[in-house]
Amino acid sequence: MLTNPNTLGIFDNKIAEISEIIHETGGLMYYDGANLNAIMGKCRPGDMGFDVVHLNLHKTFSTPHGGGGPGSGPVGVKSHLIEFLPVPTIEKSNGVYSLNYDKPKSIGKIHGYYGNIGVLLKAYAYVLTLGGTGLKEASELSVLNSKLYCPEAEEYSWLKLTIRT
């Protein structure tokens, strides 16, 4: 499980090489979407080699977490993992959505499948309000804010940050 950019806000431009090494050994890459703010509209975790993506709505999409939670968020997978997703899955056939419980290779049902609808609706409203352009701008402002605060962090001798522009 990796986050890119990492917790310090540093984007690892060698992530595709890391993914390749992991995949060569039979491993999978799991993307923790905790810092998705910095990459929205810029790059996609799947293109970096991640097989599974967990979106933390509480950081990127303005929803509560912890004391104001519970948190919530979707998990997406690449096509080779779809058959293992928990049931039920939401499927569309002839313009109609339905829940499919008939997935023999599924890991089964997980607790709280329907999730925290209030958190999901708040995130959805945030996305609709900002739109694609607004989400990309939010991402750019997130990165800009990180760059502005890095010089202040350098006063701590144990913390050395290098920002490349």
pLDDT (tens digit, 9 = 90+) per residue, 6-19?
A: 877 778 889 999 99
pLDDT value for 154: 59
pLDDT averaged per 10 residues in sequence order, the chain, 165 residues: 82 91 97 84 91 85 65 85 92 95 92 71 91 89 72 56 51
Q: What is the pLDDT of residue 138?
A: 87
Look up the pTM and report it: 0.78
Cα distances from 109 to residues 12, 119, 146, in angstroms, run: 35, 21, 39
Residue 34 pLDDT: 77
Q: What region, left, alpha or beta, does residue 78 occupy, with left being phi > 0 and alpha being psi -120 to 50 degrees?
A: beta
Which residue carries 């607004």 as its tokens? 134
- pLDDT for res 3: 87
Confidence at residue 112, expressed as pLDDT on a 0 to 100 scale: 64
Return the SS3 of 90: strand
Q: 73 CB contacts (<8 Å, ≥6 apart)?
A: 33, 54, 55, 56, 57, 58, 119, 123
What are 77-103's pLDDT values in tens digits? 999 999 999 898 889 999 999 999 999
In sequence order, the 6+-apart residues with CB closer than 8 A to the CB of 7 are 34, 35
